[in-house]
Amino acid sequence: MGGVLLSLVLTMLGLLLVTFIIGRVMPIDPVLKVVGERATQAQYDAARQAMGLDQPLVIQFLRYIGDVLQGDFGRSISTGHPVAEDLRRVFPATLELASLGTLIGVVIGVPLGVVAAANRGRWIDQVARVVALVGYSVPIFWLGLMGLLVFYGILGWVGGPGRQGILFDGMVETRTGLMLLDTALAGDWPAFRDAFSHIILPASLLGYFSLAYISRMTRSFMLEQLSAEYITTARVKGLPEWRVVWGHAFRNIAIPLITVIALSFGSLLEGSVLTEIIFSWPGIGSYITKALLAGDMNAVLGGTVVVGTCFVVLNLLSDILYRVLDPRSK
């Protein structure tokens, strides 16, 4: 356990070091963003000193670590609010979207991978491989635009961009920041249906890319297990094929699948930028993109640290679960 914690600390220090370096090498002067281009040299120097940018880089880095540990990412130039406050506001939207996308990926991707492996070389295996290939190959922005055109613009089956329609905007008290949960807790089922109609399309797109990865890894794990000797023994004993597949082979891949699902969830948290932009989803990816275009480095680095921390924590949790559930790994 001590080794895991040491690895976590070193990884977090590496993450902070990378974000610190990015903030220093970007061709954006944070002082000018604060004082404006018409500021005098004296005003510029005073602001630079107040921001601690006149100190040696080592001192700046240590100060940066201390601020981050206190949850202080500075103030956003774009919104005028503390970055930490902005992140608390936008992160639940990304968390909700990525969670539903991962759920879709797991519910469809795992059975698809198992069935494909159990029917290797048959038509269902070929279909599963094509589904995974398309999921890896087709750009998500194209699928997003086509989805909006067909399911929103033409068929009207789903809600449009954003988390809620104008009629329901601000009607439900924000408790958790998760729109589906907040509307359900409030008992406002029309608002719940409206929120669901807005999230289902972007979540399905993310879920499709998630299931492409999950189904491919599940199929690979299952093929390895189905070729093992204990599977041959189980079949010789006359066990039904469904029991051999699900009761023996799948049980042995359940543990490594935890890591696969955790990595998939982390990738959706950090990789949903294009989806959020296309669907005007007010999440952390959209927030970082807008901040980057505005040269708001405090917001960019704060968002990067939060997303990176989530990925590190997910890897740590999956590693701990792996060790707990599989005694052989201890």
**What is the Cα–Cα distance from 175 to 144, expressed in whole angstroms?**
29
The per-residue pLDDT for 222 is 92
Mean pLDDT score, 113-141? 88
> Is pLDDT larger for residue 220 or for residue 319?
220
> Is pLDDT larger for residue 116 or for residue 296?
116
pLDDT band (50, 70, 90) for residue 170: confident
The per-residue pLDDT for 266 is 85
The answer to whether residue 92 scores a pLDDT higher than 80 is yes
φ, ψ for residue 75, nearest 5 deg: -110, 135
The per-residue pLDDT for 318 is 79
pLDDT band (50, 70, 90) for residue 100: very high
List all residues 6 or more positions away from 181 whose beta carbon is below 8 Å from its beta carbon.
Answer: 96, 175
Strand ranges, E, within the chain: none
The per-residue pLDDT for 1 is 57
**What is the Cα–Cα distance from 298 to 226, expressed in whole angstroms?**
51
**What is the Cα–Cα distance from 268 to 276, expressed in whole angstroms?**
11
The per-residue pLDDT for 192 is 93
pLDDT band (50, 70, 90) for residue 112: very high
The answer to whether residue 203 scores a pLDDT higher than 90 is yes
Work out the mean pLDDT of the chain and round it to a whole number: 85
In this structure, which topology does domain 90-329 adopt according to CATH? MetI-like fold (1.10.3720)
The answer to whether residue 235 scores a pLDDT higher than 90 is no
The answer to whether residue 102 scores a pLDDT higher than 70 is yes
The per-residue pLDDT for 243 is 87
The answer to whether 317 and 2 are in contact (CB under 8 A) is no
The per-residue pLDDT for 44 is 75
Model's pTM, two decimal places?
A: 0.86
Mean pLDDT score, 82-90? 91
pLDDT band (50, 70, 90) for residue 2: low
**125-162: b (≥16 Cβ within 10 Å) or e:** beebeebbeebeeeebeebbeebbeebbeeeeebbeee
> Is pLDDT larger for residue 82 or for residue 171?
82
- The owner of tokens 């968390």 is 95
Mean pLDDT score, 123-137? 88
Task: Encode pLDDT of 272-313 as tens digits.
Answer: 788 888 898 999 988 988 888 877 888 888 888 888 888 888
Comparing CA positions, the residue from 40, 64, 41, 38 lying closest to residue 51 is 64
The answer to whether residue 106 scores a pLDDT higher than 90 is yes
The per-residue pLDDT for 258 is 87
The per-residue pLDDT for 121 is 86
Mean pLDDT score, 323-328? 65
251: alpha, beta or left? (left if phi > 0; alpha if psi -120 to 50): alpha
* DSSP H or E stretch at residue 100: helix 83-118
> What percent of the chain lies above the pLDDT cut of 70?
95
The per-residue pLDDT for 3 is 63
Beta carbons within 10 angstroms of residue 321's beta carbon: 14
Boundaries of every domain in the chain: 2-69, 90-329
The answer to whether residue 76 scores a pLDDT higher than 80 is yes
The answer to whether residue 130 scores a pLDDT higher than 60 is yes
The answer to whether 69 and 171 are in contact (CB under 8 A) is no
The answer to whether residue 330 scores a pLDDT higher than 60 is no
The answer to whether residue 220 scores a pLDDT higher than 60 is yes
